């Protein structure tokens, strides 16, 4: 993929994760905007244009699910949203499915992260 970098909005309150996101997605392919809570993330989302939003579910203030719901109201169901969480129970999964979001389990496989995000950004190619 040449040309414009993908713009990603990442929200996670864990500082280790922030560092690792930056490291894993370094380079020309991705441009990152990081927030450490849901409210800021939503504000950024409203102000700037993004190609994909990655949300940690458990965050103080507004949690990932609430941010995702807001995004769905603003931008509809086709905008790619990835929810990152360690929870795997079926009730939770149904919520994720209802929001048409992708699900990424913790712990994240950092080296594979670019691949995974690419697949979400360009569905149909792999």
Judged by the rule CB under 8 A, the positions of this chain that interact with other proteins are 13-20, 23-24, 26, 58, 86, 106-108, 110-111
Closest CB 85 distance from other proteins, rounded Å:
8
List the strands of the sheet with 102-105, edge to edge: 30-35, 6-11, 52-56, 81-85, 102-105
Question: Closer to other proteins at the Cβ: 46 or 112?
Answer: 112
Question: Closer to other proteins at the Cβ: 20 or 79?
Answer: 20
Question: Closer to other proteins at the Cβ: 59 or 81?
Answer: 59
Closest CB 66 distance from other proteins, rounded Å:
15
Closest CB 5 distance from other proteins, rounded Å:
18
């Amino acid at each position: 993929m040449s040309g414009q970098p993908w713009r990603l909005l990442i929200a996670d309150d864990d500082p280790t994760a922030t560092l690792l996101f930056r490291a894993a997605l370094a380079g020309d392919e991705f441009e990152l905007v990081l927030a450490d809570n849901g409210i800021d993330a939503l504000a950024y989302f409203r102000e700037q244009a993004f190609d994909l939003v990655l949300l940690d579910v458990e965050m103080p203030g507004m949690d990932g699910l609430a941010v995702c719901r807001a995004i769905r109201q603003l931008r509809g169901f086709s905008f790619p949203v990835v929810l990152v969480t360690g929870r795997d129970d079926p009730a939770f999964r149904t919520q994720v499915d209802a929001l048409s979001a992708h699900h990424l389990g913790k712990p994240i496989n950092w080296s594979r992260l670019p691949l995974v995000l690419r697949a979400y950004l360009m569905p149909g190619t792999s």
